């Protein structure tokens, strides 16, 4: 069967339809919809039997997921000319030098944020953000001359570039100004100092190079360049730059959302694009996975208190001993990891099965069957999810003991000790379910130690002379006021999926243009999600269409860009330039899209 055809496998045989443009099945989804009501009634076996010939087609049609759109390029002459000219500019040495300098300058500002920081004005560590503001004003003068700028809660940045057509919904481009702190003890492990912003001829180094200063700089440089060339939007562009994303966005994004809702109202933005997913090679095919959902987040503090005393007369268990046992109990009882049908991770695997050129046959068949068979769903867990630590973390609720504190002197029994457990909650669960399981995990152990237990304000094991007075007590509480349930899912099919199709087409056009190629399926766009959260967790009221995606190239770099949240953070220049190209294509395409 040639590449200019696609097939539908039915109990009575095979029917072949030929495309008009030489593309494979996904490019003619409209023609195929005529047959969808018949396909839906066919048994799954008919799709599996000839999977070697038709799997990229039949699985997509059978499941209703992973349909593809064509690459989306600007069409009207003004936009097409601006986009083409910008594309040529990106390839010049002069623009590359400019882009490097803009990012290096931002990296050199150590805009670190920490957990539990008080509001701006109450902690001098916020003041580095003032340096970020001064730098942006100097580095991007046309933006600061043309856009309106509102500073929200001192350091949140809200830029607005009013479009010429007020009937078009505005959209938001988001990023964050802050970075995770650099542990002073690790500085000697960095190839280049963390705030040096060194460019070594290939990579740009420093804390924030990838998370998220490349994204912020790419947005600003794109708009500054378009302004310099006289381009102006029909659709209003809004920029929101939080300042404590790495600490949950409690002071930044939360305040920005309130300001936006007061000005614009609820559900009035066409879409939001923030940091997030990228593209990589999976099973011989390049997949882009914009984040369309987000796990919940919940930090639990486990406090243990006991009488204390002199260490020369120790009890069987010190407070730290109790805490160590509790931590061990948690780690012995991880949350179950089970793929859920209809979840984003499941839909991503359906895309892998539809288009992955080298996906193993057994896994492919299990994924196909998992759309209706629980046994097959568990087989996918066995073959793919559980062996992959990253995907297991994506699918399940995670628990990580990240902070521990206790004791002040070697010969004094500690009166108190605590640990903090970070949870990323799977999209089928909730804070309520997660906290209930935390309590259940340690209740029996607390009984065995004769310790009372209070969990989130409720006595689980009530204090008594038998339990609390002589031994001590355990308390579970919310560690930081930033807990959040899993996010609503962005529509990716059916009614309301136009923004998803717009982003998919823009992604394909960017990928093609950066490589000088043509075609519609050089990159397959699939629903995706990351293991963590972004500032968008505060923006749910603004739109149903939230995309955590800034076109990061991870083809050779794994799932997480080099050094993010650890030593030696860096970004290759070519990857950074492609992010700029992505925002250029997105901004210009948004003027023409029906959203």
Nearest-angstrom CA–CA distance, 13 and 5: 16
Is 212 one of the annotated active-site residues of the chain? Answer: no
User: Would you state the pLDDT for residue 482?
Assistant: 86
Q: What is the DSSP string of 127-196?
A: GHHHHHHHHHHHH-HHHHHHSEEEEETTTEEEEEE--S-TTSPPEEEEEE--BPPPPGGGGGG-SS-TTS
Q: What is the DSSP letter of 257?
A: H
Both structure tokens of 229: 């060339």
Q: Specify the pLDDT at position 115.
A: 87
Where are the domains positioned within the chain? 1-64, 85-293+487-590, 296-336+396-478, 343-352+359-394
Mean pLDDT taken over the chain? 89
Distance of CA 174 to the CA centre of its chain: 13
pLDDT of res. 463: 84
H helices within 452-572, ranges in order? 498-515
- How far, in Å, CA of 512 to CA of 587, rounded? 17
pTM more than 0.75: yes
- Please report the pLDDT score of residue 413 as a whole number: 95
Residue 443: Cβ within 10 Å count: 15
Q: Write down the pLDDT at residue 466.
A: 54
Angle between helical axes of 361-369 and 344-355 (0-180°, round to 10):
130
Interior CA angle at 466 toward 461 and 470, to 5°? 105
Binding site for Zn(2+), by residue number, is 176, 211, 246, 274, 565
Distance CA 457, CA 477 (A): 8
Let me know if 245 is a catalytic residue: yes
pLDDT attached to residue 88 = 98
Phi, psi of 239 (to 5 degrees): -110, 130
**Fold agreement (85-293+487-590, 296-336+396-478):** no
**N- to C-terminal Cα distance for the chain?**
38
Name the 3-class secondary structure at 558.
coil
Report the topology of domain 85-293+487-590: Aminopeptidase (3.40.630)
Q: Which of 112, 212, 224, 245 is catalytic?
A: 245
d(CA 372, CA 367): 10
Give the pLDDT confidence score for residue 308 in this predicted structure: 86
Catalytic-labelled residue, pool 112, 160, 178, 569? 178
CA 105 to mean position of chain CA atoms: 26
Q: What is the pLDDT of residue 557?
A: 56
Q: What parts of the chain have a pLDDT lower than 50?
A: 1-58, 61-63, 558-560
Q: Max CA-CA distance within the chain?
A: 87
According to DSSP, the residues that pair with 475 across neighbouring strands are 303, 454
User: What fold, for 296-336+396-478?
Assistant: Alpha-Beta Plaits (3.30.70)
């Amino acid at each position: 069967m040639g590449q200019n055809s696609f097939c539908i496998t039915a109990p009575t045989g095979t029917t072949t339809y030929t495309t008009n443009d030489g593309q494979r099945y996904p490019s003619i989804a409209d023609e195929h919809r005529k047959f969808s009501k018949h396909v839906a009634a066919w048994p799954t076996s008919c799709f599996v039997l000839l999977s070697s010939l038709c799997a990229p087609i039949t699985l997509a049609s059978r499941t209703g997921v992973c349909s593809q759109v064509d690459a989306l390029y600007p069409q009207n002459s003004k936009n097409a000319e601006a986009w083409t000219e910008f594309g040529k500019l990106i390839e010049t040495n002069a623009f590359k030098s400019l882009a490097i300098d803009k990012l290096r300058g931002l990296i050199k500002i150590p805009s670190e944020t920490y957990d539990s920081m008080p509001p701006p004005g109450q902690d001098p560590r916020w003041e580095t953000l003032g340096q970020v503001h001064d730098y942006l004003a100097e580095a991007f003068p046309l933006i600061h001359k043309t856009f309106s700028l509102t500073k929200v809660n001192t350091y949140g940045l809200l830029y607005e570039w009013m479009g010429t057509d007020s009937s078009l919904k505005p959209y938001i481009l988001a990023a964050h100004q802050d970075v995770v702190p650099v542990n002073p003890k690790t500085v000697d492990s960095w190839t280049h100092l963390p705030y040096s912003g060194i460019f070594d001829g290939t990579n740009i180094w420093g804390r924030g190079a990838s998370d998220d200063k490349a994204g912020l700089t790419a947005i600003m440089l794109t708009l500054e360049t378009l302004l310099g060339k006289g381009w102006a939007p029909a659709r209003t562009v809004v920029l929101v730059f939080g300042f404590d994303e790495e600490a949950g966005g409690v002071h930044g994004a939360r305040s920005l959302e309130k300001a936006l809702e007061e000005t614009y109202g609820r559900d009035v933005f066409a879409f939001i694009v923030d940091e997030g997913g990228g593209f990589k090679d999976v099973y011989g095919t390049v997949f882009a996975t914009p984040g369309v959902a987000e796990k919940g987040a919940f930090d639990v503090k486990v406090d243990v208190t006991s009488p204390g005393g002199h260490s020369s007369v120790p009890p069987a268990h010190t407070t730290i001993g109790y805490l160590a046992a509790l931590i061990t109990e948690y780690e012995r009882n991880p949350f179950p990891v089970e793929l859920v049908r209809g979840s984003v991770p499941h839909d991503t695997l359906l895309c892998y099965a539809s288009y992955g050129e080298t996906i193993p046959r057994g896994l492919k068949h299990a994924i196909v069957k998992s759309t209706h068979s629980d046994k097959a769903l568990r087989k996918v867990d066995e073959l793919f999810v559980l062996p992959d630590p990253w995907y297991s973390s994506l699918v399940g609720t995670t628990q990580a003991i990240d902070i521990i504190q206790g004791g002040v002197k070697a010969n004094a029994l500690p009166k108190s000790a605590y640990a903090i457990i970070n949870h990323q909650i799977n999209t089928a669960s909730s804070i309520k379910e997660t906290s209930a399981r935390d309590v259940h995990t340690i209740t029996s152990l607390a009984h065995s130690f004769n310790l009372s237990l209070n969990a989130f304000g409720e006595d689980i094991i009530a204090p008594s002379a038998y339990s609390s007075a002589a031994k001590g007590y355990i308390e579970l509480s919310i560690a930081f006021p930033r807990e959040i349930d899993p996010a609503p899912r962005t529509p990716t099919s059916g009614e309301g999926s136009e923004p998803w199709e717009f982003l998919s087409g823009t992604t394909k056009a960017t990928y093609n243009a950066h490589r000088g190629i043509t075609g519609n399926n050089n990159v397959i766009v699939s629903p995706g999600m990351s293991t963590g959260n972004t500032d968008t967790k505060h923006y749910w009221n603004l739109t149903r269409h939230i995309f955590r995606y800034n076109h990061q190239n991870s083809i050779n770099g794994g799932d997480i860009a080099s050094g993010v949240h650890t030593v030696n953070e860096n970004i290759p220049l070519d990857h950074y330039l492609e992010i700029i190209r992505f925002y250029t294509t997105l901004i210009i395409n948004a003027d023409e899209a029906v959203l």
